[in-house]
Amino acid sequence: MHVSQEREFITLIEEHKGIIYKVIRLYVNHDEDERDLMQEILFQAWKSFPRFDGRSKFSTWLYRVALNTVLTFKRRPNLVIPHDNLASLNVSNTEKRSVDDTEALYQAIRGLGDLERMLITLHLDGYENDEIASIIGLTKNHVAVKLHRVKETLMNQLNA
């Protein structure tokens, strides 16, 4: 990589590092895993950067690298309760109400399967279904159907 390209890479990463933090926060539970993944995402982005042709936005490209890395990287298992079991938790209505909405959404998203989490994250971040399809490798139709189901599951859990 040329020096100018290196500088460009560092500037772009600095501008968009929030994307990497976001992906790590949604998928990782342990400090050591967080650092490992941060380094791995930076490494993969660094390795792939010379092929970044600017056809997509850098943020989309970095999102793709970050999500693909996190999905395929060996992580310690999550301590989050799977979403299927959330509904059956014996929590009183008063307690439920006291839980902050954002924390509830965070826990509900983290309780989803890896790919479902990836779909809803991209959707909530404003990506169109065809962009999500191209990032993940599913068809637009599959993305739409799956997203509808994931949203339904999330809403059911959050409104329960």
Binding region for another protein (CB under 8 A): 17-18, 20-22, 24-26, 31, 34-36, 38-40, 42-46, 48, 51-52, 61, 64-65, 67-69, 71-74, 101-102, 105-106, 113-116, 124, 134-139, 141-142, 145-146, 149, 151, 154-155, 158-159
By beta-carbon proximity to another protein, the closer residue of 23 and 92 is 23
Q: 81 vs 158, which CB is nearer to another protein?
A: 158
Retrieve residue 120's tokens.
Answer: 């809803």
When the beta carbons of 71 and 81 are compared against another protein, the nearer one is: 71
- Is residue 98 packed enough to be buried (19+ CB in 10 Å), middle (13-18) or exposed (0-12)? exposed
Q: Which three-class secondary structure state does DSSP give residue 80?
A: coil
Return the biggest CA–CA distance within the chain. Answer: 60
| H helical segments located in the chain | 3-27, 31-48, 58-72, 83-86, 93-98, 101-110, 114-124, 129-136, 140-159
- Is the Cβ of residue 36 or residue 81 nearer to another protein in the bound state? 36
User: At its nearest, how many Å lie between another protein and the CB of residue 5?
Assistant: 14
Our CA dihedral for 128, 130, 133, 134, rounded to 10 degrees, sits at -110
The distance of closest approach from Cβ of residue 4 to another protein in the complex, given in angstroms and rounded to an integer, is 17
Q: Supply the minimum distance, in Å, between the C-beta of residue 61 and another protein.
A: 6
Q: Which amino acid is at 114?
A: D
Q: Which CB sits closer to another protein, 14 or 88?
A: 14
Q: Rounded to an integer, what distance in angstroms lies between the CA atom of residue 45 and that of residue 50?
A: 9
Least distance CB 92 / another protein (angstroms) = 19
